[in-house]
Structure 1
Amino acid sequence: MKKSICTALMSILTFCAYAQEIKVKNEEVKLDEKLVAYITGKKPNFQISNLDKQYVVNAELKFLESSGKRWMVLKSAATGKTNEVDYKKFNPLNQQKSVIEAFIDKGFLSAEGINPEAIENYINGEATGVSAKIKNEANAAIEKTKRIEKYKISIDNAGNIYSAITKQPLPTNIGTIKIAATTGMGIQKYEVFDLDNNLIATWYNMSSKHAGYDKFLYEELITFDNKVFKIKPDTFGTLQYSMSTDKTALSIVGELLDSGYTLQHQRK
């Protein structure tokens, strides 16, 4: 009982810590209306300082054009050393606030103000390699796209899946994909079948349970052998729906083929 109460209290305290109202205006940073720091400069270069302006740290905003992924480079004004920081979340319309949210997330800033020791320890600590990770992920995504393009996947309006994977002169039917559930918010579930009508994989849009799997699935594809792949829905530019132009369905099939699921007579 005591353990349950303690757990509940910790959850409440954690929620409260992140439920602070953050305001960044006229170079002032306020948490719950309390002035805690200053942020000056113009993007991509900002300077964050404490209230007496005796401590300043520089934050240079970076992004990878090919993927749009972003990170910051913190530079100590005292030592000139640097280290990279990822964002908790990023809002391109309020980049200053995004910087402050990252500072709070990393423990660099709180209601007590700037924590110079935490910042300097981070900068002088082990290199985080945030940009290298982002670039590696972007390169991997590009290579994956190239691999999937070689399958020449197409889907007709009946949900029949065609691919050149069989190395025949023309793409051949390798299975079907069906819409299994919809709501007013759109398609919530797809199912993929092989040519023998065996269920190969199921994709869930909303948080859902899948028979034989003990975790909730959200924007994820689960195969018949319980392998899970993250696939975000893609409805950008959709004005009038048709299965043959369904980008999410194509992503689902592409992920399966790239992961070694040939469909056709998969379960045999």
Structure 2
Amino acid sequence: MRKLVCAALAIMLTASIFAQELKVKNGEVKLDDKIVAFIEGKKQNFKVLSLDKQYSVDAELKFLEQSGKRWMVLKSDKSGKSNEVDYKKFNPLNQQKSAMEAFIDKGFLSAEGLNTEAIENFLNGESTGVSSKIKADANAADDAQRRIAGYKVTIDDSGNIYRVIGQNPDKVRFGNIKIVSTTSLGVQKYEVYDLNNVLTGTWYNMSSKHPGYDKFLYEELITFDNKVFNIKYDSFGNTLQYKMSLDRTALNIVNVLIDNGYLKK
């Protein structure tokens, strides 16, 4: 019971921190209009200073052009040690505020100001490897795109799925995809069946529950064995007169299933 109470208090404390209004303007960092730190320098390279300006940490905002993913490198002016921080969210229109939100998320900043001990412990601790993970994820995504391009998948207007195998110019049918429900906002649910007409995967647009799965699904594909893949809804080029053969979301769903071994000849 004590553990449950402590956990509840921690959640409430975290919620109260993020309920505070954060402002970063004219070199001042404010929480509920109270100055808690100062910022000096440019948007991508700046210093974050304590209230008495006796402690400072350098922040360099970085991104991978290949994927657009971002992270921040912090370096202590005191020890010279550095480490990488990821973002919960990032707003390119207010990059310094996004950085300060990350500070709050990591426990580096509160209504009491900078937590210099927490920052130094983090910078002198084990490397987070944030940039390495971002780069590895981007390379994996590129590899997947190259594989998918080689599958040569097409879908006809009846939802039949075809591939060109090897040097054979003839298309081989792999299964079928169909629209289950739509709204004025577009397709809300697809189902994909294999050659034996067995349901292989279901994709949901809006937040939805799937039988036998306890979490809500949003722009996600769930397979028959409850594996989940994120697939964004893409209606580009198919808004005036709908055709399944031009449905990019349907094609992306099918490609993911093939790439993960769920649709086979």
TM-score normalised per structure 2:
0.91
- The separation in 2 between residues aligned to 1:50 and 1:162, in whole angstroms, is 62
Q: What is the identity, as a one-letter code, of the residue corresponding to 1:60? A: E
Task: String of CA shifts for 1:187-236, please: whole Å, max 9, x gaps.
Answer: 22111112333211101122222112233222221112222222222345
**2:194 equivalent in structure 1:** 194
RMSD after superposition: 2.3
- The separation in 2 between residues aligned to 1:8 and 1:82, in whole angstroms, is 33
Q: What is the identity, as a one-letter code, of the residue corresponding to 2:231? A: I
CA gap of 1:12–1:128, structure 2 versus 1, over 3 A, is closer
Q: Is the 8 A contact 2:148 2:255 kept in 1?
A: yes
**2:127 equivalent in structure 1:** 127
**1:147 equivalent in structure 2:** 147
Task: String of CA shifts for 1:34-82, please: whole Å, max 9, x gaps.
Answer: 1111112113201111122111100001111110011011011112211
- The separation in 2 between residues aligned to 1:261 and 1:166, in whole angstroms, is 19
SS of residue in 1 equivalent to 2:151: coil
**2:116 equivalent in structure 1:** 116
Which consecutive unaligned segments of at least 5 residues does structure 2 have? Answer: none
Total equivalences in the alignment = 264
Q: Is the 8 A contact 1:204 1:221 kept in 2?
A: yes
SS of residue in 1 equivalent to 2:232: coil
CA gap of 1:242–1:43, structure 2 versus 1, over 3 A, is farther
CA gap of 1:2–1:139, structure 2 versus 1, over 3 A, is closer
Q: Is the 8 A contact 2:175 2:263 kept in 1?
A: no
- The separation in 1 between residues aligned to 2:50 and 2:14, in whole angstroms, is 24
Q: What is the identity, as a one-letter code, of the residue corresponding to 2:182? A: T
Please report how far the alpha carbon of residue 263 of structure 1 lies from its aligned counterpart in structure 2 after TM superposition: 4.6
Q: What is the identity, as a one-letter code, of the residue corresponding to 1:23? A: K
Alignment of 1:231 onto 2:224: no
**2:83 equivalent in structure 1:** 83
Task: String of CA shifts for 1:79-107, please: whole Å, max 9, x gaps.
Answer: 22111111111111110111000000000
Q: What is the identity, as a one-letter code, of the residue corresponding to 1:246? A: D
- The separation in 2 between residues aligned to 1:238 and 1:20, in whole angstroms, is 43
- The separation in 2 between residues aligned to 1:81 and 1:213, in whole angstroms, is 45
Q: Is the 8 A contact 1:208 1:216 kept in 2?
A: yes
**1:171 equivalent in structure 2:** 171
Please report how far the alpha carbon of residue 12 of structure 1 lies from its aligned counterpart in structure 2 after TM superposition: 3.9
SS of residue in 1 equivalent to 2:61: strand
Q: Is the 8 A contact 1:157 1:244 kept in 2?
A: yes
How do 1:23-102 residues align onto structure 2 when only pairs under 5 Å count?
23-102=23-102
Which consecutive unaligned segments of at least 5 residues does structure 1 have? Answer: none
SS of residue in 2 equivalent to 1:190: strand
Please report how far the alpha carbon of residue 7 of structure 1 lies from its aligned counterpart in structure 2 after TM superposition: 6.7
Q: Is the 8 A contact 2:205 2:218 kept in 1?
A: yes
- The separation in 2 between residues aligned to 1:117 and 1:140, in whole angstroms, is 37
Q: Greater CA deviation, 73-82 or 207-216?
A: 207-216
CA gap of 1:108–1:2, structure 2 versus 1, over 3 A, is closer
Q: Greater CA deviation, 222-231 or 164-173?
A: 164-173
TM-score normalised per structure 1:
0.90
Task: Among all aligned residue pairs of Structure 1 and Structure 2, give the percentage whose two residues are the same amino acid.
Answer: 66
Q: Is the 8 A contact 1:152 1:171 kept in 2?
A: no
CA gap of 1:7–1:50, structure 2 versus 1, over 3 A, is closer
Q: What is the identity, as a one-letter code, of the residue corresponding to 1:149? A: A
Q: What is the identity, as a one-letter code, of the residue corresponding to 2:214? A: D
